[in-house]
Amino acid sequence: MSILNRLLAATALAAMIVPGTAYAGGTVEVLHWWTSGGEAKAVGELKKAFEAQGGKWIDSPIAGGGGDAAMTALRARVMAGNPPAAVQLKGPGIQEWAKQGALNDVQDVASKENWDSVLPPVLAAIMKYEGKYVAAPVNIHRVDWIWANPQVLAKVGITEMPKTWDEFNADAEKLKAAGITPLAHGGQPWQDATIFEDVVLGVGGAAFYRKAIVELDQGALTSDTMIRSFDQLRKLRGDVDPNFSGRDWNLATAMVMKGEAAFQIMGDWAKGEFLAAGKKPGVDFLCSPTPGGAFNLNSDSFTFFKVKGADRLEGQKVLASLIMSPGFQETFNLAKGSIPARTDVKLDKFDSCALKSQADLVAAIKSDSLVPSMAHEMAVPRTVRGEFLDLVTNFFNSDMTSAEAVKQLAAGVKRAQMQ
């Protein structure tokens, strides 16, 4: 028997012993960017739960906070005609891929489980294309947070978290005078854009944020309020350490944990890092919203790309149902730092930061001050977001004036809209 025949015979034998490759819960390849300590723990819960249902999980993590590298990898996979079955995708990105016909819907699962009755309408709308669910949300993350190390603040007599940007600036001066880095920051475009949009929210409020960053109104983009926002961003540039360039966001969180910096402005995935390191909220770290009295929304969700084979199609359905199950939403979000996307999950096991997030979310919906994050792909198409990221990063890394910044930003946004 030739080697090839022997190999074929062995394979046939193996196939007889292990009948087929179908798993009870199907098979999914999952593309995501959750590779930091807290993120890996959270996605590990999803994998564990999927496997517990008899499914086979093929992990495809693409490192890089904010998901820009993952989105590049996704485009390559789709171009090659080999998309992963499940992909972490958000906001307008969901609509863009659905419009191209790349997504399977999971409407039969959603109808059976009545997702419409347990999701906030604002979130349900993002998950649907032409009236059908094409994505399942795992969480609600809040982007407008300041994290702090209370022991470091105590060294300079700061007893309360800053509530306005002026208070933040005054605290930063005190810290600098004592030789302490006020702001832990990673100089990557999405992180620069994260602090930028939080600043805009604080300087201009929710209505202004919406006009400038969501509706892309040229008047708002070139307004004095936007100039003042860049002025504040310039101040924050003076609060970071010399090695900020290129630093990953979780390393910036670690600086706060270790007392190497006082504050970090970052979404509550940072809380996932503190928790994964065994830190306690209110004791080892503090959380409070950035100024603005609003809520900057980011929600992670999974979409289901068009794949072939009953096993993989089954995997997509099982995963969609699992993601939306109340028990999973609790376990996952306890690790991730976010709160459940479902409104009917009890929060008794959640900490004070999560409860604050939930209360502020409800208040923001009531007062119409809930805004979608641009930096985290909830607000505008990728091309427009790209213009924001380029400009904000250029500003942060040069001595560009605020007046020049608003001019370039407005022109860039217009350019992207014309594409």
Residues at the interface with ligand GAL (CB under 6 A): 33-34, 39, 65-67, 141, 249, 269, 298, 300, 376
Instruction: Give the span between the Cα atoms of 94 and 123, in whole angstroms.
Output: 12
Q: Whose Cβ is closer to ligand GAL: residue 88's or residue 225's?
A: 88
> Which residues, 6+ apart, have CB-to-CB distance to 216 below 8 Å?
380, 384, 413, 417
User: Minimal distance in Å, beta carbon 355 to ligand GAL?
Assistant: 20
CB of 268 to ligand GAL, least distance (A): 9
Buried b (16+ CB within 10 A) or exposed e, 202-238: bbbbbebbbbbbeebbeebbbbebbbbbbbbbbbbbe
What residues does 31 pair with on adjacent strands? 60, 87
d(CA 150, CA 284): 7
C-beta closer to ligand GAL: residue 41 or 210: 41
Q: How far is the CB of 269 from ligand GAL (least distance, A)?
A: 4
| Bridge-based pairing state of the strands 56-61 and 27-32 | parallel
Residue 88 C-beta: closest distance to ligand GAL, Å: 8
Q: Which is nearer to ligand GAL, 67 or 292 (CB)?
A: 67
Which residue lies nearest ligand GAL, judged by its C-beta? 65
Q: Are 320 and 305 in contact (CB under 8 A)?
A: no
- In whole angstroms, give the CA distance from residue 240 to residue 182: 7
Minimum CB distance to ligand GAL, residue 208 (Å) = 23
| Closer Cβ to ligand GAL, 41 or 141, answer by number | 141
- In terms of CB distance, is 291 or 337 closer to ligand GAL? 337
209 versus 269: smaller Cβ distance to ligand GAL: 269
Q: How many whole angstroms separate alpha carbon 153 and alpha carbon 175?
A: 8
Cβ-based nearer residue to ligand GAL, 171 or 300:
300
DSSP notation for 348-391:
TTS-HHHHHHHHHHHHHHHTT-EEE-TTTTSSS-HHHHHHHHHH
Q: Whole-number minimum distance, CB 394 to ligand GAL, in Å?
A: 21
Name the CA dihedral angle for 236, 241, 246, 248, rounded to a multiple of 10 degrees: -90
Q: In the bound complex, what is the minimum distance in angstroms from residue 39's beta carbon to ligand GAL?
A: 5
| Ranges of H-type helices in 27-117 | 37-52, 68-79, 91-99, 107-113
Q: How far is the CB of 307 from ligand GAL (least distance, A)?
A: 24
Which is nearer to ligand GAL, 33 or 97 (by Cβ)? 33
Work out how close the CB of 257 gets to ligand GAL at its nearest, in angstroms, rounded to a whole number.
17
Sheet holding 139-142, edge to edge: 339-340, 139-142, 295-298, 370-372
Task: Pick between residue 65 and residue 412 the one whose CB is nearest to ligand GAL.
Answer: 65
- Cα distance between residue 193 and residue 98, in whole Å: 26
